[in-house]
Structure 1
């Protein structure tokens, strides 16, 4: 696969919080948003997904969500109002002056995509990955799980889901205080609103991933969606090349 230079940038979001994003490739813009505890490097760059999309003639724009990666990690609860992540996404679109673009994300990035759509974003095509219908309509579904992880660090039983999540947190250098704040930004999207996302969509999920509910139910609920299952569960699907290939093929269509 071709090597693409990576550009790194920062900008001030709607409330002045400094956010980072990376880009690779040239052509049609697509914004891809990473998952909770992760960052653009881990989710999109390290395992070749961004390069696969760039190879299809795309300008791949990958923000680090507030509280994650190279973006600011404020500890003030006021920095984490409901829908802050969607507002950050709108701010990035405006900062870049994008008019015709595609939009998607993995896990929390998929939920952020939904919240952007629910609050006025107008991409041509959308990507929901690592996400099921319940993950959008019941945003609080996993909040307790993550609060438990972050407030009991070092106490989880080895090999348990919480222990594995804490291990991943260590690899990404996550800030537990900021990440607890991020949970407060979560907002559910009503099922009838999801059913109104009337643009071509792909739902890409690990075949063994039900962390955010049913991907098949999400694909069925959307008016113009294709379901693609790739190997792995919620954690492991991200490292599989099939994930990026499925997204790249969809965006090239």
Structure 2
């Protein structure tokens, strides 16, 4: 996988296909392979005639691992994504984020609106603005000696996922400890890029998707039936709806 040096620290990415560029930004404890390659997104979008770029966020996958909370946060990770576009000489792209990647994508749109043609936001509704709960149980779970020590159901899910993805749990804990820069309704309402908000009907992490759509200028909601936060990622309804959404810009 190619890398680029961001302040002398490697950021890994993939770059496949030809056509209009779309940048994929994965969720917490995931990586470009788990979130995008294995569920078939990269192949699907390449076959749809697109240049597909997927980043390993800092602290994840093959990118540099930081162990201090101040080295993380969505605005910082958005800068990584924008610098990757700079590295590839891409002025403007469609952005597609999932969960934490949705937060990062939105900060890209706020920080550099001229760089973002459209937004596909998966796995996060109004929780983008209101927050998605106390991060401390997840931090404790990531740093626990073993999975069996974790009793909190939600935290246990993230710990098990981190083990499944063979992630650096100490780096993930630092990422989770980072200051959650607030995203206000006012900030979100300034985004003019066409936006698709896609959330599973059984997702108890995301928050209300329609409430997020209502705040935005040019957004629509794609309902992913009978899927939760983890199982929505590779869903066929999600894929079909995303292709239909992106088709209007081709």
TM beyond 0.5: yes
Q: Corresponding residue for 2:211?
A: 217
Counterpart in the other structure of 2:242? 247
Quote the RMSD (CA, aligned, Å).
Answer: 2.0
Task: Give the one of 43, 63, 66 matched to 1:71.
Answer: 63
In structure 2, distance between residues paired with 1:78 and 1:202: 31
Q: Select the residue among 10, 15, 37 that pairs with 1:23.
A: 15
Q: Check 1:78–1:219 CA distance in 2 against 1; reply closer, same or farther (3 A cut).
A: closer
The one of 162, 184, 187 equivalent to 1:190 is 184
Q: TM-score, normalised by structure 2?
A: 0.89
Pairing 1:108–2:100 present: yes
Over residues 130-176 of structure 1, what are the superposed CA-to-partner deviations in whole Å (9 max), with x where a residue is unaligned? 01122x22447352342232233531239x22222221111111111
- In structure 2, what is the equivalent of residue 205 of structure 1? 199
Contact kept in structure 2, 1:47 and 1:239, CA below 8 Å:
yes
Equivalent position SS for 1:251: helix
Query: Counterparts in 2 of 1:224-243, with a 5 A limit?
Result: 224-231=218-225, 232-243=227-238
Structure 1: any 5+ residue segments left out of the alignment? Answer: 1-7
Instruction: Map residues 85-100 of structure 1 onto 2, 5 A cutoff.
Output: 85-100=77-92
SS at match of 2:61: coil
Q: How far off is 1:54 after superposition? A: 1.9
* Number of residue pairs aligned between Structure 1 and Structure 2: 243
The SS at the match of 2:162 is helix
Q: Distance in 1 between matches of 2:203 and 2:132?
A: 18
Q: Distance in 1 between matches of 2:69 and 2:207?
A: 29
SS of structure 1 residue aligned to 2:193: coil
Contact 1:49 1:243 in 2 (8 A): no
8 Å CA contact retained: 2:58, 2:77: yes
> Structure 1 pair 62/26, CA: closer, same or farther in 2 (3 Å)?
same
Question: What corresponds to 1:51 in structure 2?
Answer: 43
Deviation at 1:25, TM superposition (A): 1.9
Q: Match for residue 119 of structure 1?
A: 111
- Aligned: 1:10 with 2:24: no
Whole-Å separation in 2 of the counterparts to 1:151 and 1:22: 30
For structure 2, the 5+ residue unaligned runs are none
- Take 2:52 and 2:179, find their aligned partners in 1: how far apart are those partners? 25
- Normalized against structure 1, the TM-score is what? 0.88
